[in-house]
Chains A and B, each alone.
Chain A
Amino acid sequence: MSALFRLVGVGGVIAYRALFNWTTPSIFVGTLLVGPLFQLFFFAYLGREFGVADDRFYIVGNAVLTAALACVFGGTMAVANERRFGTLGHVLLSPRSRTAIFLGRVLPYAGNGLLIAASTLTVAALLLGLRIPPTALPGLLLALATASLACGFFGLTLGALGLRFRDVFLISNVAVALLLLFTGVNVPADDLPAGIRAVGAVLPITHAADAARRLAGGVPLGDVLPAIGAELAVGVGYAVLAAGLLRVFEAESRRRASLDTL
């Protein structure tokens, strides 16, 4: 059992350092902290201008969304960058469980996402004057953590597609842009067409953003647990999907020689 924990924990952290492109301080701060913060300001001021919703809606929703950038791209890099370094073959020759290897890689990205979302929310709330009740903080932390984990597994699913399709970062770019609209972070879900709402319900961020907004508005944690549970279920769904795709594409690569493993 300790060997499994080592593979997931130690292996996951080393893989993060090996495969995540944005680990240097300047790129990390610029890409993952400053950029998303200005995106949040943009939507907050847009919301104020048009009066569609209040500051809480935009600040909290966009803060949750900031977790997506690190987690979705990180999850994708966790698989797709193996091709870049020519290490995929050596990973696939491992006798260890693929599920443990790849799902373990998501944890550092989820931690990253949580850090980014929490710091973005703190800075934005201070600068834009949003008051959050201290009693809401543990619940908010839980909602952000769940969103980060779900995003990480969503990214891993996209990364698994990288075993089959070479230009998987194209898919990740589109996916991150879709999250902006489909999750109801910047447009109230009730105003979205039913089809987009339905897709949003099975995407990460949607339920966590809803829970976080209500928590920031003073709703007790108990009342938002179903939403956090739904976010967790979405994350678990993507974890299962990612594990399945990794298995299928690996088997296909052996059968059809479809993978440039070396």
Chain B
Amino acid sequence: MGVRVAGPTHRFAAMGEHAIEAVGLHRSYRSRTGWLRPQRREVHAVAGVDLTVGHGELFGLLGPNGAGKTTTIKLLNTLLIPTGGEARICGFDVVRQTREVRRRIGYVFGGDRGLYDRLSARDNLRYFAELYGVPGREQKRRIAELFELVRLTGREDDRVEGYSRGMRQRLHIARGLLHRPRVLFLDEPSIGVDPVAARELRQTVADLAATGTTVLLTTHYMAEADELCGRIAVIAGGRIQALGTPAELRHHADGRRVLEVQAYGVTDGQLAAIRARPGVREVSLAVHGAAQVLGVQSDAGVDVQADVLRELDGVRLGRVTARQPTLEDAYVAIVNRAAEPTPVAGPVPA
């Protein structure tokens, strides 16, 4: 484990001025493979994250898989200790004042797990109410309120094993809110949820922010972040690569145009060839069912459509459209820029 950086406290704002504050947050892991000739490797999952989130703010943390989103959240919610830097929640240090931090946070993550399947939804909440210190006389009323908030009224006494994923997600949120946390971490809450359930989830999250709860949301869905978040940080390679309002982030794709081609069977070689065309800035390929959607960002003054279609000769094509960049395009630009190899510094001239 690395040495924890003992930063001076004046780097933080006055106690509790911000809901979330992180300065130079680092977290590295050491892994070992092999027994006879063990090889040790150090991975820097979070490599110097600086972040402040105000009270009542709905803040988005976006990034590709393995970018460091979940590790950042685990550092902020006390499940992991940073190997460097410092973080505070409502003014309390996440390493030294864990109990104070835990009283003030809720944590919700996406997926099917994290609930006791054999118990009813009500018993799940009763148990976590005990764990999170909700006074006995308040529990019944609070649990009823939350069932209403997450629209599970009428299904409270059903066993969780019979719940759909969307219902589980809403129950996760209810669990995270039991003790009225001031800061709520939502780690990909809408993953694998159908569009209707996802819309309901977004409504629930928006309602929360309206009541003054600070929300830190991680998601892969740009539309979700765009709709909900006041500010967004894009993290890649363990570092914050861009931070601002959705409108500010869109500027990362300024001066560009986007060509979208629906295709069936684009090869890696063709992608590389398109990427090498003059004026092409970013190329992405998404799969939607049987079709691929090729996205080509180019300089606004360059029409790359003919070049792209030429490179796709022999590939069955569908719809071809040109459009203005969206937040998702800006995100792709930021993430791809972060993935580019850093130029090696040459010798310094005398």
State the A residues within 8 Å of B (CB): 2-3, 6-7, 10-11, 14-15, 17-19, 23, 85-87, 89-96, 101, 254-257, 261-262
Contacts and interface: CB of A to CB of B under 8 A. Distances in A.
Interface in B100-147: 100, 102-103, 105, 107, 109, 111, 113-119, 123-124, 126-128, 130-133, 135-136
A93 B127 contact: no
B256 interface: no
A262 B113 CA distance: 8
Contacts, number: 88
B44 to A, nearest CB: 13
Contact of B114 (A2, A15, A87, A254): A87
The prevalent SS among residues of A at the interface is helix
A35 B4 CA distance: 54
B216 to A, nearest CB: 15
Given A3-B135, A14-B119, A96-B133, A262 B127 contact: no
Contact of B78 (A14, A90, A254, A256): A254
Nearest to A7: B130
Nearest to B112: A86
Nearest to A91: B131
Interface in B149-176: 175
B119 A86 contact: no
Interface of B: 1, 27, 29, 77-81, 99-100, 102-103, 105, 107, 109, 111, 113-119, 123-124, 126-128, 130-133, 135-136, 175
A14 B123 CA distance: 7
A95 B97 CA distance: 11
B102 to A, nearest CB: 4
A2 B136 contact: yes
A87 B114 CA distance: 4
Given A87-B115, A90-B107, A254 B133 contact: no
5 contacts: A87-B116, A90-B131, A95-B103, A96-B130, A101-B131
A6 B115 contact: no
A147 to B, nearest CB: 28
Select the residue from A10, A18, A255 with max chain B CB neighbours within 10 A.
A18
Contacts of A96: 130-133
B116 A18 contact: yes
Contacts of B111: 86
Contacts of B103: 95
Given A3-B135, A254-B81, A18 B127 contact: yes
Select the residue from A17, A261, A262 with max chain B CB neighbours within 10 A.
A262
Contacts of B109: 262
A85 B128 CA distance: 14
A95 B119 contact: no
A85 B113 CA distance: 6
B81 A3 contact: no
B117 A85 contact: yes
A262 B1 contact: no
A93 B105 contact: yes
A163 B35 CA distance: 23
A95 B101 CA distance: 8
A257 B43 CA distance: 12
Given A85-B117, A94-B133, A254-B80, 4 more contacts: A7-B130, A23-B118, A95-B100, A96-B132
